[in-house]
Chains A and B, each alone.
Chain A
């Protein structure tokens, strides 16, 4: 797994549950407390070990943790850059949803060896969409749900999101209903960051 992802899990656990919790989880997972570096690659087993240890230590389901992680990635003030990069996907939430198909290609433009799940959006009309997520790792659809929820806040859109489970082939389906694309004021987004 890419270090960017592992590092994200680490900072999410540390910022949300505290340094002591992270240290305990790292020890339980058998990794050093310094954890992961963003620009290195790690064995997938290390990621799974951290997720399993966090789930046991915090008594929380793996799926819940992954969704919270997705939410954290977009809404935590320290990670404003990721939120900005996602906002480049479109001028409205619907635009953003349609840009998800090309998200893996966008990610690879920035970091060549970063593998995001293949995402495929189908539109069923009346604001209803289905997002199919394939690959990266089991449960990445839950991260996607967290990201989509937080991005809806960012765009000021009102949405209902539901993870509809995994099929035998490992495809995860997410049902999206866009109720109101201008529900609340969007968080401001300038194409070029201040001072950039």
Chain B
């Protein structure tokens, strides 16, 4: 000491003051026995630990390796120690040791990143941490973060269901509840892209204009809704039924490869449509013309091609006198010809 005023005094702190500054400190004597402890670490250790139990009995030092004595601890010079309670729940801690003149060490401890778990296990409160310690702020932040994340999850879920509802709306024909043209296009593209066979049926109502002209648009709307119901009832769960124009419908039948399968369904539809549809005490009579194409008739299923060919077959049905079912016949003649079915 040269006596200059700038030199800080050597500190001698009473145990209580040390405990307030560092509630998780331990004072070890040269032999490794615990001589003093901050109030928080004292609560965590077994009741008989302070004073007198051996530090190395109560803690496992994981890093640095080969720290087995107080002398070793004194030589760690500022290095972070990784240790854990030797007994369950094996709470992990980190520590810093400084040598004391008496040959022992002062060891300060804290919880690492698993602090939240440690606080719960050992039932610690805000007053178990020094007033300068940021542990409580850390826990606050963890909790605030998870609250915000939950809000964002809820928001995302609501937006997702709103998006699905909007998509559903964009894919639905509002009058009949069937799929619309856009939905049919994407279902057709999916079917063609899947490589699995399917049949495409184009259904066009006969005499619909007469119903509209005679009974009015409300009657026409009612008829379209009834036809939609019939189409749904006479097709299978996985089939796509779409209204693609005023009185035009398209049905996509996945897995169907043979004309007989399509025509069985088509005939059921025609026979249902043969029954008049009641509207306000009146009988509305319509029928339908049907044309279809089969993906197995093409080397590659192109949606536009199958659609226009089903359309050609439909017009053949119209020309053949309505209430007819016609298959598109590819140029090589493999497909079946028109199969008549009475309306």
**Residues in A lying within 8 Å of B, measured CB to CB:** 4, 37-39, 81, 84-85, 88, 90-91, 106, 109-111, 189-193, 196
Contact = CB atoms under 8 A, between A and B. Distances in A.
A102 to B, nearest CB: 10
Nearest to B121: A192
B148 A110 contact: yes
Nearest to B115: A192
B152 A39 contact: yes
B141 A91 contact: no
Nearest to A86: B140
Contacts of A193: 143
A111 B148 contact: yes
B2 interface: no
A110 B144 contact: yes
20 contacts: A37-B158, A38-B154, A39-B148, A81-B147, A85-B147, A88-B136, A90-B126, A91-B127, A109-B140, A189-B125, A190-B123, A190-B125, A191-B124, A191-B125, A191-B139, A192-B116, A192-B117, A192-B139, A196-B120, A196-B146
A110 B123 contact: no
Contacts, number: 60
A190 B140 contact: no
Interface string B138-168: 0111011111100110110010000000000
B202 to A, nearest CB: 42
Contacts of A90: 126
Interface of B: 116-117, 119-120, 123-127, 136-137, 139-141, 143-148, 151-152, 154-155, 158
Nearest to A34: B158
Contact of B141 (A37, A110, A190, A192): A110
A34 B35 CA distance: 64
A38 B151 contact: yes
Contact of B143 (A4, A39, A84): A84
Contacts of A91: 125-127
Contacts of B124: 191
A158 to B, nearest CB: 21
A88 to B, nearest CB: 4
A136 to B, nearest CB: 19
Given A88-B143, A106-B140, 15 more contacts: A37-B155, A39-B151, A39-B155, A81-B147, A90-B126, A91-B126, A109-B141, A110-B141, A110-B148, A191-B119, A192-B117, A192-B120, A193-B143, A196-B120, A196-B146
A85 B119 CA distance: 16
B11 to A, nearest CB: 27
A107 to B, nearest CB: 9
A43 to B, nearest CB: 19
Nearest to B135: A191
A186 B127 CA distance: 15
Contacts of A38: 151, 154-155
B144 A109 contact: yes
Contacts of B123: 190
A91 B141 CA distance: 17
A156 to B, nearest CB: 15
